[in-house]
Amino acid sequence: MYDFVDQPVDRLSNGGRFLLWAMRGWSHARAQGACPPVALTKGFAGIDALSALPEFNMVMALLNRDALEQLAIQPMRCARIGEDEAILSGLWRDAALGRTERVEATLALLVEDHAVTAISLAAMATVARLAAAGLDPAGPAYETHKETK
């Protein structure tokens, strides 16, 4: 999480930016009374990852419904990664790296117990489908520890 919090969005990899865009787009659509999957269809189709959209929608819908506290997702054009977005970016990275126990431990702090497994499974399916489409779903990790010369 701390790798991401309050960092510039442009420091994210393509996979990280896509997932951040999708989370923000989902939240924005819902706040506007629109259907989030419909709002995101063009973006997911544009990277040949439309098959990831239903599982992504499930993650977001369950996070929205079963969160212990409402998650704060930044507006679409916000140039920095918010705290809750940082937590979710870490969750996506852990899912992409197959760290199921870490995903579930994070979710246990965020949502009602009954939702942990469903969200974890949907997150794992989402990142697998994004990877199959050629998008690096571990991508929310930009290179913070890289030395410059």
> Tens digit of pLDDT for each residue in 22-52?
999 999 999 999 999 999 999 999 999 999 9
Residue closest to 78 by CA, chosen among 6, 30, 133, 3: 6
Share of the chain above pLDDT 90, in %: 74
> Tens digit of pLDDT for each residue in 113-128?
999 999 999 999 999 9
pTM: 0.88
Give the pLDDT confidence score for residue 4 in this predicted structure: 64
pLDDT reading at 139 higher than 50? yes
Residues 68-72 have a mean pLDDT of 95
Do residues 44 and 88 make contact, with C-beta atoms less than 8 angstroms apart? no
